[in-house]
Chain A
Amino acid sequence: ETGVTQSPTHLIKTRGQQVTLRCSSQSGHNTVSWYQQALGQGPQFIFQYYREEENGRGNFPPRFSGLQFPNYSSELNVNALELDDSALYLCASSQQETQYFGPGTRLLVL
């Protein structure tokens, strides 16, 4: 166990809806990164938050947004869901460069 938790574990949404995924960091970690992992692919970096500020972003559209809170927990929000957003969403917390992943949220968009 990494000490990183995510909720919910599974989620089903319909196209056009909005979704919020949550992540609690490992104690002492001030950095959270979010990834999207499609079936058969490696995780793709969405963005990273360091001390409540976005600290890097991958090649994802603006409808993917996030927040980090003072306790270093984090949210990933996705608006206007598309079928291709169906994937495993992973958050990873870190203090320096070594990241520890949570169990993920599996999102299905119908």
Chain B
Amino acid sequence: QKEVEQNSGPLSVPEGAIASLNCTYSDRGSQSFFWYRQYSGKSPELIMFIYSNGDKEDGRFTAQLNKASQYVSLLIRDSQPSDSATYLCAVNLPSGGSYIPTFGRGTSLIVHP
């Protein structure tokens, strides 16, 4: 079964700390990796995407991709209470000659003051 796995949490961090969110995927042929934030009752909002091995930084967010180990992570520096949300990892998994966008179940992040 082709999967994207995330720890459901909740992950609780104090305000100002670094939050580290992890995601593993099952297929080495996967391309394109995305992180979304979803507030309760709202739709997912794109935070970052990453295509190549290594780190990609955007403001307080850093995405890290390691294709050999099949994981992708999201670091949030200087976490704020407004970062409290569910973070969804999405991977384009190969399927029958194309790619299927596949989401993990999400990790709940709580940033407490």
A101 CB-CB contact with B under 8 Å = yes
B residues near A103, Cβ cutoff 8 Å: 42-43
Q: Of B32, B43, B98, B105, which one neighbours A41 at CB under 8 angstroms?
A: B105
**Is A97 a contact of B32 with CB atoms below 8 Å?**
yes
**Is A42 a contact of B43 with CB atoms below 8 Å?**
no
Q: How many residues of A sit at the interface, in one of the four size bands? A: 20 to 34
A residues near B49, Cβ cutoff 8 Å: 97-98
* B 42-79 binary contact with A (CB < 8 Å = 1; else 0): 11111001000000000000000000000000000000
**Is A33 a contact of B104 with CB atoms below 8 Å?**
no
B19 CB-CB contact with A under 8 Å = no
Q: How many residues of B sit at the interface, in one of the four size bands? A: 20 to 34
Q: Of B32, B99, B103, which one neighbours A42 at CB under 8 angstroms?
A: B103
**Is B98 a contact of A56 with CB atoms below 8 Å?**
yes
**Is B105 a contact of A40 with CB atoms below 8 Å?**
yes
A residues near B25, Cβ cutoff 8 Å: none
A residues near B105, Cβ cutoff 8 Å: 40-42
Q: Given the known inter-chain contacts A41-B105, A56-B98, please indicate yes or no for A98 contacting B46, CB distance below 8 A.
A: yes
Q: Which residue of A lies closest to B8 (CB)?
A: A40
B88 CB-CB contact with A under 8 Å = yes
Given contacts A97-B92, A99-B34, 11 further A-B contacts (CB under 8 A): A33-B101, A35-B103, A42-B90, A42-B106, A43-B44, A45-B102, A56-B95, A56-B98, A98-B46, A99-B46, A103-B42
